[in-house]
């Protein structure tokens, strides 16, 4: 058992409020389109499945809250988790395509997305590795190259699916953790000179990624084609005005905005809850991230520091990218809004992050 039983109740409350908002908006965004998406006339189809995932994720979160933190630091458990996720990522590549990608392992009653579970696995590995190697963080062969290999392995398998957005998230979170370990600016510059050209080459290597980039630069050029998602998202946000149209009264979810319950749920929130509701949700995420950084700041153990930082960055970066895509500040990516978007793997992963942060909040002084 953990040393103290005092969790960060503010962090817990903010996370649960975001989950409640997500459940309400998933039902609002999906009830009418269920027939089109899955061929069912049950308006509760998506919200029922999400509630089951919420129960499973909550059980995992509570378990992690009460888990002896020494188990989280156990390298044998961490390496076993890393190996399991890597195997799952490989298996997913040989699964039947869904929407043109190999992101899911199809089981009897649900689908598992290994790339989502790659996030906590990589964060815990990096936390363990950096806690042991931070004294030698700038040594190239003994520290940085093995670290780069593991990050590249995770990101590379995810890119092959393909899932450029999740791979980008993994790299950004890893980069933030490594930077916090005290890597020299010379190494940072060297890394940037390597990763930026590689990223550009990766973007232009696939036609759909090139199209997303060019569409992002000028979505009005093809509003009924490649720019359709971006334009419909902006219409939804603009229609909401200050106070919104009211829950359930949004129009863009009526077969205009693709994936209104997943990738573009923030657009529906802006339409139905208005600027006030959208800003309040962003404020909740900002508060959650602040509490996460507070856990990081007062951590008594280096593993705890890096783990808290990694999971906080994970939530913050994903939320920032999703909201930016909805506002057309970034090219379209298939990243869900943490704790809000429909998706079992995404919700469970987000609750894993919250559970670990709550556990570590006990250890901070």
CA 354 to chain CA centroid, nearest Å: 12
As a whole number of angstroms, the distance between CA 59 and CA 64 comes to: 9
Yes or no: say if 343 and 98 are a contact pair by the CB < 8 Å rule.
Answer: no
Q: Which helix (H) or strand (E) holds 224?
A: none
pLDDT of residue 4: 47
Nearest to 179 by CA among 191, 195, 193: 191
Residues in the chain: 365
pLDDT at 2: 43
CA atoms within 13 A of residue 161's CA, in its CB half-sphere: 29
**Tens digit of each residue's pLDDT, the chain (365 residues):** 444 458 889 999 999 999 999 999 999 988 888 877 776 778 888 899 999 999 999 999 999 998 988 898 999 999 999 999 999 999 989 888 877 788 888 877 778 899 999 999 999 999 999 999 888 888 888 888 999 899 999 999 998 988 888 999 999 999 999 999 888 888 888 877 777 787 777 777 666 677 677 676 767 766 666 777 888 888 889 988 899 899 988 888 887 888 888 889 999 999 999 999 999 999 999 999 999 999 999 988 899 999 999 999 999 999 999 999 999 888 877 789 999 999 889 999 999 999 999 999 987 65
Residues 6+ apart with CB under 8 A from 197: none
Inter-axis angle of helices 164-180 and 114-133, nearest 10: 20
Contact 52, 59 (CB under 8 A): no
- String of DSSP letters for 255-296: TTSSSTTTTTHHHHHHHHHHHHHHHHHHHHHHHHHHHHHHHH
Q: What is the pLDDT of residue 1?
A: 40
The pLDDT assigned to 248 comes to 86
> Which H or E run includes 332?
none
CA distance from start to end of the chain:
17
Would you say 22 and 288 are in contact if contact means Cβ atoms under 8 Å apart?
no
Specify whether the CB–CB gap between 316 and 350 falls below 8 A.
no
């Amino acid at each position: 058992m953990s040393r103290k039983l005092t969790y960060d109740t503010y962090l817990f409350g903010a996370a649960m409020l975001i989950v409640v908002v997500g459940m309400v908006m998933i039902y609002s965004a999906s009830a009418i389109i269920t027939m089109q998406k899955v061929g069912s006339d049950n308006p509760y189809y998506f919200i029922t499945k999400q509630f089951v995932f919420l129960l499973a994720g909550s059980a995992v979160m509570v378990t992690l809250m009460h888990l002896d933190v020494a188990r989280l630091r156990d390298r044998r458990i961490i390496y076993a988790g890393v190996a399991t996720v890597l195997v799952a990522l490989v298996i997913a590549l040989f699964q039947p395509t869904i929407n043109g990608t190999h992101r899911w392992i199809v089981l009897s009653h649900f689908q598992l997305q290994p790339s989502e579970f790659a996030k906590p696995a990589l964060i815990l590995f990096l936390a363990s590795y950096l806690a042991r190697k931070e004294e030698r963080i700038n040594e190239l062969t003994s520290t940085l190259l093995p670290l780069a290999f593991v990050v590249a392995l995770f990101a590379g398998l995810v890119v092959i699916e393909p899932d450029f957005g999740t791979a980008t998230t993994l790299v950004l979170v890893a980069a933030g953790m490594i930077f916090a370990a005290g890597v020299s600016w010379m190494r940072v510059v060297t890394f940037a000179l390597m990763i930026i050209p590689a990223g550009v080459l990766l973007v232009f290597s696939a036609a759909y990624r090139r199209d997303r980039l060019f569409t992002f630069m000028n979505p009005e050029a093809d509003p009924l084609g490649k720019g359709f998602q971006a334009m419909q998202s902006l219409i939804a946000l603009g229609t909401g005005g200050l106070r919104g149209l009211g829950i359930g009264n949004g129009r863009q979810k009526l077969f205009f905005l693709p994936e209104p319950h997943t990738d573009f749920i923030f657009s529906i929130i802006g339409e139905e809850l208005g600027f006030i509701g959208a800003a309040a949700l962003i404020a909740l995420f900002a508060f959650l991230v602040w509490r996460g950084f507070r856990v990081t700041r007062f951590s008594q153990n280096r593993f705890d520091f890096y783990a808290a930082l990694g999971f906080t960055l994970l939530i913050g970066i994903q939320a920032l990218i999703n909201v930016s895509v909805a506002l057309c500040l970034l090219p379209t990516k298939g990243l869900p809004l943490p704790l809000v978007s429909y998706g079992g793997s995404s919700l469970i992963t987000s609750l894993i992050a919250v559970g670990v942060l709550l556990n570590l909040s006990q250890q901070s002084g």
